[in-house]
Amino acid sequence: MSKQVLTGIKPTGHIHLGNYVGAIKPALRLAEIESYNVAYFVADYHGLTKIHNQAEMKELSYGVAATWLALGLDPDRAVFYRQSDVPEIFELSWILACFAPKGLMNRAHAYKSMVDDNQKGGREIDNGVNMGMFTYPILMAADILLFRTELVPVGKDQIQHVEIARDIAETFNKIYRETFVLPEYVIQEETSVLPGFDGRKMSKSYNNTIPLFEEPKKLQKLINKIKTDSSLPEEPKDPETSVIFSLYQEFATVDQVEKMKVRFKEGIGWGEAKKELFQVMNSFIEKPRSKYEELMANPHVLDTILNAGAKKARETTIPFLREIKKKMGIYH
Ligand code: ADP
Ligand code: TRP
Instruction: Assess contact for 5 and 39: CB atoms under 8 A.
Output: yes
Checking if the pLDDT of 190 tops 70, the result is no
pLDDT at 201: 86
pLDDT at 192: 63
pLDDT at 191: 59
Instruction: Assess contact for 16 and 210: CB atoms under 8 A.
Output: yes
Give Cβ neighbours of residue 259 (< 8 Å, ≥ 6 apart). Answer: none
User: In CATH, which superfamily holds the domain spanning 213-293?
Assistant: Tyrosyl-Transfer RNA Synthetase (1.10.240.10)
Q: Of all atoms in ligand 1, which is nearest to the CA of residue 204?
A: 3
| CATH code 1.10.240.10 region(s) in the chain | 213-293
Residue 193 pLDDT class (50, 70, 90 cuts):
confident
Q: What is the CA radius of gyration of the chain?
A: 22
Residue 204 in contact with ligand 1 by CB distance below 6 A: yes
pTM of the model: 0.93
Residue 11 pLDDT class (50, 70, 90 cuts):
very high
Condensed to tens digits (0 to 9), the pLDDT of residues 223-254 reads 999 988 888 888 899 998 888 998 899 899 99
pLDDT at 258: 95
Give Cβ neighbours of residue 6 (< 8 Å, ≥ 6 apart). Answer: 38, 39, 40, 41, 143, 144, 147, 149, 151, 152
Instruction: Assess contact for 165 and 183: CB atoms under 8 A.
Output: yes
Q: What is the mean pLDDT of residues 109-127?
A: 96
Q: Of all atoms in ligand 2, which is nearest to the CA of residue 153?
A: 13
Ligand 2 pocket: which of 48, 86, 111, 143 to mutate (most atoms within 8 A of CB): 143
Average pLDDT, the chain: 94
For residue 15, how far is its CA from the centre of ligand 1 (angstroms)?
9
For residue 27, CA distances in Å to 1, 34, 42, 297 come to: 19, 13, 14, 25
Checking if the pLDDT of 332 tops 90, the result is no
Residue 105 pLDDT class (50, 70, 90 cuts):
very high
Condensed to tens digits (0 to 9), the pLDDT of residues 53-86 reads 999 999 999 999 999 999 999 999 999 999 999 9
Q: Of all atoms in ligand 2, which is nearest to the CA of residue 23?
A: 15
Taking CB atoms and a 6 Å cutoff, what residues make up the pocket around ligand 2?
Answer: 6-10, 43, 46, 140, 143-144, 152, 154, 158, 161
| CATH code 3.40.50.620 region(s) in the chain | 3-100+135-193+299-328
Q: Which residue's C-alpha comes closest to atom 16 of ligand 1?
A: 155
CATH architecture of 3-100+135-193+299-328: 3-Layer(aba) Sandwich (3.40)
**211 alpha carbon, closest ligand:** 1
d(CA 210, CA 91): 37
Closest C-alpha to 306, from 298, 48, 151, 293: 298
Q: What is the mean pLDDT of residues 314-327?
A: 97
| Percent above pLDDT 70 for the chain | 99
Ligand 2 pocket: which of 6, 9, 168, 193 to mutate (most atoms within 8 A of CB): 9
